[in-house]
């Protein structure tokens, strides 16, 4: 059995990496961070934003509601709040795990 030389996922993503994942400008990432309280990136000593996988998953939920389903910002905030209160997270968990597997498979394909 071969040892894995590279980690499956990263612990932190820079703002440029997150913007590249969703093919948007970094300004949209900063705007959504300001508007939605569920995105809370860590900051290093220089003040650069470092997003966890959980932050990326939250951003995907927001992006899906606004860009794909056509919600307004206020509507997306209400929907996310209802999902948190109603605990409808299993659907989102399945979606997030599928997205992580897709990213992993795409990275694997690039390495081959």
Contact yes or no for 58/38 (Cβ under 8 A):
yes
Q: Is residue 4 part of a domain?
A: no
Q: How many domains does the chain have?
A: 1
User: Residue 69 pLDDT > 50, yes or no?
Assistant: yes
b/e string for 18-30 if b means 16 or more Cβ within 10 A? Answer: bbebbebeeebbe
- Is residue 6 in some structural domain? no
* pTM, entire model: 0.66
Residue ranges making up the domain that contains 32? 13-111
What are 39-68's pLDDT values in tens digits?
A: 889 999 999 999 998 888 888 889 888 888
């Amino acid at each position: 059995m071969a040892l894995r030389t590279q980690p499956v996922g990263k612990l932190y993503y820079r703002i440029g990496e997150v913007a590249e994942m969703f093919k948007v400008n970094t300004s949209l990432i900063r705007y959504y961070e300001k508007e939605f309280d569920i995105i809370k990136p860590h900051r290093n000593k220089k003040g650069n934003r470092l997003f966890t996988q959980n932050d990326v998953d939250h951003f995907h939920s927001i992006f899906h509601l606004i860009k794909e389903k056509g919600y307004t910002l206020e509507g997306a905030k209400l929907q996310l709040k209802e999902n948190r209160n109603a605990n409808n997270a299993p659907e989102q968990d399945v979606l997030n795990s599928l997205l992580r597997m897709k990213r992993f498979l795409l990275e694997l394909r690039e390495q081959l």
